[in-house]
């Protein structure tokens, strides 16, 4: 019987194939009491299991071969968890205090950690709870005498490219273990847009739907599936009419993707000869090859905080320098914009959920506010960025600016870092450009304050929308109200872009809106000439740019910006894109 499951789309496209169910170890373990003389032996058994998993992860990482670089990074994250006292020391304390078996102690501590991660507002951090579960699962398997990855069970005679992996969740170690396979798709019960399964799917450019809740329980081995990555839908046991319809759509999508690849080396220019810069947003040095493969002309946003979120201490200057240098050299002379740590909110390096102050962290001491409040930390990062600037064109980007004095203090801190490097006779770019993120409505409205002090601007649409509409994107109860096309949001965007253009100050958009092809013509009509986005969106946006005529778009966009009714505004946007 045919039925449909709905989840979260994390990678576009259509896949048609047979279900391949993945079986995983259960985390439901027995609670056993051990004798006083057996406590230390139980702790030793736990230590041996942890060490065995460390070795297993190290071996898997060495065998990554041609697997996407993101997977190696996730292996590192899992290895880091095995060094975390919260996951390694606490179970030992539980074993001693309660005289219990290692499996039960580990699961009890895991549940506490999962609760802490679930309390975070930031979606990236919230989904690290899945990494905790997966690491614990591997240790449990070792304790129970069933080491190794998840087991694949599928019918005979199926070609690998026709298989759709169905799992409750997938760990990066599991995926690397069968990297030689060419699966058509991944679908999972859990996960979100920033889960490792989602990142894997995007890096491999395969359709994927996550957060299906009960797919693993409802789907049977070898059952025919259609995965619609665009709509976030999985159709189980479709009839022949539906299959034929999706086969036709799949062929059309593949034809379009082939055409897009031909655009990689095409000059990004509109019909009427206006050049447009297309840059990539990256989070780790391993993202550079993907950015180049998709034709990025530079890095418009290097989110440096993602380098260090899964560790318990602040990296020193040398470690930061090596990471920044790797990106700058990897981009081969193309510009790299490095944003200083956007820490705070729920992206702290030292977070104890049990003692968090119950105020709104999004409006607290975060981003540049935190950096200025921690001058030693800020100096370490500024020196590392300056040192990397000798290896290629580097720009410095300051997040969450709202006041002129924040820029003045930043400039003073930068001069201090420069002075210290000069004293040590270390070479750097003396004329490094400094820009600011426009992501607070006050900054957009008082844009003149910032243009007089900065070399360039970058609009962070994600936070700008959130702050303008008073909508917490991570709150499911109000997430539907998050609207990039709200008239107030469009007015702030247009005001910022137009003001910068008049003052001859370079301005870019680096939020999610920049990578949405449906908004490309709208931005071009506003006057935007620099877009920065996830690498996978670059060719789609370039395709829109090559077919656009700004001389026609500009007057049409001016009319759209005068509209206040949401329905009419969307109708006008559809007409603009038709």
Active-site positions? 196, 510
Residue 125's alpha-carbon distances to 61, 118, 120, 128, 303, in angstroms, are 23, 8, 7, 5, 15
**Tokens in use for 510?**
């680096």
Q: How many other C-beta atoms can be found within 10 angstroms of the C-beta atom of residue 391?
A: 20
Cα–Cα distance measured from residue 264 to residue 276, given in angstroms and rounded to the nearest whole number: 14
The secondary structure of 376-442 as a DSSP string is HHHHHHHHHHHHHGGGS-EEEEE-S---HHHHHHHHHHHHHHHHHHHHTT----TT-EEEEEE-SHH
Please, which contacts does 161-164 make with residues 24 or more away whose CB atoms are closer than 8 Å?
161/17, 162/16, 162/17, 162/18, 163/17, 163/18, 163/19, 163/20, 164/15, 164/17, 164/18, 164/19, 164/20, 164/225, 164/227
Closest Cα to residue 356, out of 18, 61, 122, 13?
122
Length of the chain equals 578
Residue pointed to by tokens 């038709």: 578
Cα–Cα distance measured from residue 147 to residue 152, given in angstroms and rounded to the nearest whole number: 15
In terms of Cβ atoms closer than 10 Å to its own Cβ (0-12, 13-18, 19+), residue 33 is exposed
Residues near 154 by beta carbon (within 8 Å), at least 6 away in sequence: 18, 19, 20, 21, 163, 221, 222
The secondary structure of 148-166 as a DSSP string is SSPEEE--TT--GGGEEEE
Indicate the DSSP class of residue 353.
G
Sign of the torsion angle spanned by Cα atoms 423, 426, 432, 437: negative
Cα–Cα distance measured from residue 122 to residue 349, given in angstroms and rounded to the nearest whole number: 13
In terms of Cβ atoms closer than 10 Å to its own Cβ (0-12, 13-18, 19+), residue 258 is exposed
In terms of Cβ atoms closer than 10 Å to its own Cβ (0-12, 13-18, 19+), residue 159 is exposed
Closest Cα to residue 528, out of 489, 548, 498?
498
Cα–Cα distance measured from residue 179 to residue 508, given in angstroms and rounded to the nearest whole number: 37
List, in sequence order, the alpha helices (H) in 436-531: 441-445, 447-451, 461-469, 487-502, 520-526
- Pseudo-torsion of CA 571, 574, 575, 577, nearest 10°? 160
Q: How many other C-beta atoms can be found within 10 angstroms of the C-beta atom of residue 343?
A: 24
Cα–Cα distance measured from residue 546 to residue 538, given in angstroms and rounded to the nearest whole number: 12
Phi/psi of residue 4, each to 5°?
A: -120, 140
Cα–Cα distance measured from residue 165 to residue 206, given in angstroms and rounded to the nearest whole number: 12
């Amino acid at each position: 019987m045919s039925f449909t499951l709905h989840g979260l789309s994390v990678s576009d496209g259509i896949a048609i194939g047979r279900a391949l169910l993945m079986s995983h170890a259960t985390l439901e373990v027995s609670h056993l009491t051990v004798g006083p003389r057996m406590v230390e032996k139980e702790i030793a058994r736990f230590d041996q299991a942890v060490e065995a998993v460390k070795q297993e992860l190290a071996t898997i990482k060495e065998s990554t071969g041609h697997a996407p670089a993101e997977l190696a990074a996730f292996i590192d994250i899992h290895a880091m968890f095995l060094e975390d006292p919260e996951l390694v020391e606490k179970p030992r304390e539980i074993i001693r205090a309660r005289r219990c078996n290692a499996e039960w102690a580990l699961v009890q501590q895991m549940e506490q950690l999962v609760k802490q991660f679930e309390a975070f507002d930031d979606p990236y951090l919230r989904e690290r709870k899945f990494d905790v579960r997966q690491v614990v699962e591997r240790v449990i398997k070792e304790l129970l005498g069933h080491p190794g990855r998840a087991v694949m069970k599928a019918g005979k005679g199926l070609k690998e490219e026709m298989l759709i992996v169905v799992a409750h969740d997938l760990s990066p170690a599991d995926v690397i273990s069968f990297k030689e396979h060419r699966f058509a798709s991944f679908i999972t019960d859990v996960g979100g847009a920033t889960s490792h399964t989602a990142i894997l799917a995007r890096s491999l450019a395969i359709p994927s739907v996550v957060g299906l809740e009960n797919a693993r329980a409802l789907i049977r081995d070898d059952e025919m599936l259609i995965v619609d990555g665009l709509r976030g839908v999985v159709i189980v046991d479709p009839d022949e009419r539906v299959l034929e319809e999706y086969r036709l759509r799949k062929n059309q999508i593949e034809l379009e993707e082939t055409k897009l690849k031909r655009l990689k080396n095409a000059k990004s220019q509109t019909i009427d000869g206006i050049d447009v810069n297309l840059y990539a947003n990256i989070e780790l040095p391993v993202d550079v090859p993907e950015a180049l493969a998709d034709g990025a002309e530079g890095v418009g946003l290097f989110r440096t905080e993602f380098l260090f979120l899964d560790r318990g201490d602040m990296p020193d200057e040398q470690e930061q320098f090596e990471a920044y240098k790797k990106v700058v050299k990897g981009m081969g002379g193309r510009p790299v914009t490095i944003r200083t740590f956007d820490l705070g909110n729920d992206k702290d390096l030292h977070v104890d959920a049990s003692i968090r102050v119950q105020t709104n962290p999004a409006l607290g001491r975060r981003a540049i506010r935190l950096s200025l409040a921690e001058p030693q930390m800020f100096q370490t990062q500024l020196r590392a960025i300056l040192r990397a600037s000798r290896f290629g064109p580097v720009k410095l980007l300051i997040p969450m600016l709202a006041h002129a004095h924040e820029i003045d203090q930043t400039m003073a801190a930068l001069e201090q870092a420069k002075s210290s490097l000069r004293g040590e006779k270390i070479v750097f770019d003396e004329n490094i450009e400094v820009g600011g993120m426009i992501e607070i409505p006050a900054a957009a409205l008082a844009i003149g304050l910032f243009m007089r002090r900065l070399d360039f601007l970058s609009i962070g649409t994600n936070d700008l929308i959130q702050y303008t509409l008073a909508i917490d994107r991570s709150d499911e109860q109000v997430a539907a109200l998050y609207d990039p096309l709200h008239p107030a949001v469009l007015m702030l965007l247009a005001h910022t872009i137009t003001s910068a253009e008049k003052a001859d100050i370079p301005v870019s958009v680096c939020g999610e809106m920049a990578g949405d092809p449906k908004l490309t013509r709208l931005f071009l009509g506003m006057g935007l000439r620099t877009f920065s986005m996830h690498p996978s969106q670059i060719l789609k946006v370039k395709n829109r740019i090559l077919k656009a005529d700004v001389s026609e778009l500009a007057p049409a966009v001016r009319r759209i910006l005068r509209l206040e009714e949401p329905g009419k505004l969307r109708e006008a946007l559809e007409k603009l894109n038709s």
